[in-house]
């Protein structure tokens, strides 16, 4: 399993995805601090939402194989800046979460936003149904 840094707004699905990837039970748990679940570093959403924390994300990413930009297509908020992925020293993969409850249009819009942020490639997943996760894991190797 690769080392990952999961980034995304509050409640976009970071903790649930890292629990899924590490085979843990899915239990709601608000991430208050950095949390290492299996080989994924789960970050509090506040890291992305407050610019002052961005530096911490950059430092953390030095030690991982991939950064994952997560995006919840049912949320209106878009926190990534255009070309954001270029500030990380490792490949940035886009992950559209919660596709079990999102409309096709919401999913497409989210994909476009992640593209603008520079994430490549981009996977659509659900941590509830597991859809899309085998493809993501296969890509990461």
Ligand X SMILES: Nc1nc2c(ncn2[C@@H]2O[C@H](COP(=O)(O)OP(=O)(O)O)[C@@H](O)[C@H]2O)c(=O)[nH]1
141/129 Cα distance (integer angstroms): 21
Closest approach, Cβ 106 to Mg ion, in A, equals 21
With respect to ligand X, which residue has the nearer C-beta, 57 or 86? 57
Closest approach, Cβ 6 to Mg ion, in A, equals 9
10 Å CB burial of residue 33 (0-12, 13-18, 19+) is exposed
With respect to ligand X, which residue has the nearer C-beta, 53 or 86? 53
- Among Mg ion, ligand X, none, the one that 87 touches (CB under a kind-dependent 5 to 8 A) is none
The reply to whether omega before 121 is within 30° of 0 (cis) is yes
- Among Mg ion, ligand X, none, the one that 16 touches (CB under a kind-dependent 5 to 8 A) is ligand X
Q: How far is CA 105 from CA 36, 75, 76, 114, in A?
A: 33, 13, 13, 14
**Residues making contact with ligand X (CB under 6 A):** 8, 10-16, 28, 31, 45, 97-98, 100-101, 126-128
With respect to Mg ion, which residue has the nearer C-beta, 75 or 118? 75
Pairing of strands 35-37, 40-42: antiparallel
Closest approach, Cβ 124 to ligand X, in A, equals 10
Closest approach, Cβ 13 to ligand X, in A, equals 4
**Residues making contact with Mg ion (CB under 5 A):** 14-15, 31
The DSSP 8-state label assigned to residue 100 in this structure reads T
With respect to ligand X, which residue has the nearer C-beta, 86 or 101? 101
The DSSP bridge partners found for residue 4 are: 40, 66
């Amino acid at each position: 399993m690769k080392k990952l840094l999961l980034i995304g707004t509050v409640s976009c699905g970071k903790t649930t995805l890292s629990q899924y990837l590490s085979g843990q039970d899915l239990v709601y748990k608000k991430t208050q601090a950095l949390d290492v679940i299996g080989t994924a570093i789960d970050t509090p959403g506040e890291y992305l939402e407050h610019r002052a924390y961005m530096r911490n994300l950059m430092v953390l990413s030095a030690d991982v194989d991939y950064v994952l930009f997560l995006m919840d297509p049912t949320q209106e908020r878009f926190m990534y800046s255009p070309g954001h992925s270029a500030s990380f020293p490792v490949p940035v993969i886009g992950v559209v979460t919660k596709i079990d409850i999102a409309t096709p249009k919401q999913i497409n819009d989210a994909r476009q936003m992640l593209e603008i942020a520079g994430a490549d490639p981009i996977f659509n997943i659900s941590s509830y149904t597991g859809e899309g996760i085998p493809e993501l894991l296969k890509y990461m190797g």
